[in-house]
Amino acid sequence: MNIRLAESKDIDQLIRMRWDNTIEFDDSKRQSSYNDFERECRSFLENAMKNGEWYIWVAEEEGKLISHIYIELIQKVPRPGRITYPFAFMTNVYTVKQYRNMGIGSKIISTINKWVKENNFEFIIVWPSDESINYYKKNGYVHSTELMEYFPS
């Protein structure tokens, strides 16, 4: 198994994985147009890979992507008296069903944690589902209830 950053050659697989992830947890989305989704997702991924704000980590086995984690870097406003580093937003954490519970996601997250430390990013945030809280805890994350949200109506 190879853990690496995604490349443009991975876009078709990443699109399919995003579709499968969504359908698995919300079957009502199956009625959506795959072609429309594919077009939008391809544009997002092409831009994400070029602009340096998104890092898509993948686990690959024999040319097939089996897991991924998306990281967006969020730049912070500088402060006097200290160097300002970005923080990371983790999202779209997914492992193909037949590869789950084999430690693959933990290997990717361990690679990401090391990468974040090496690059002096300030911290990582993630909004876990109730089912994934223990996964994050076992990988060194602290459960927080401090988040506040605003939804414009």
Amino acid at 126: V
Strand partners, 11: none
| pLDDT in the model for residue 27 | 86
| pLDDT in the model for residue 57 | 98
Tokens in use for 98? Answer: 């037949």
Residue pair 105/95 in contact by the 8 Å Cβ criterion: yes
Rounded to two decimals, the pTM is 0.91
| pLDDT in the model for residue 28 | 86
Amino acid at 68: H
CA distances from 121 to 84, 86, 130 (A): 9, 5, 26
Q: Count CB atoms within 10 A of the CB of residue 149.
A: 5
Domain 2-138 -> CATH class: alpha beta
Region of 120 please: left (phi>0), alpha (psi -120 to 50) or beta: left
pLDDT tens sequence for the chain (153 residues):
999 999 999 999 999 999 999 998 888 888 889 999 999 999 999 999 999 889 999 999 999 999 999 999 999 999 999 899 999 999 999 999 999 999 999 999 999 999 999 999 999 999 998 889 999 999 999 998 877 787 888
Q: Count CB atoms within 10 A of the CB of residue 55.
A: 18
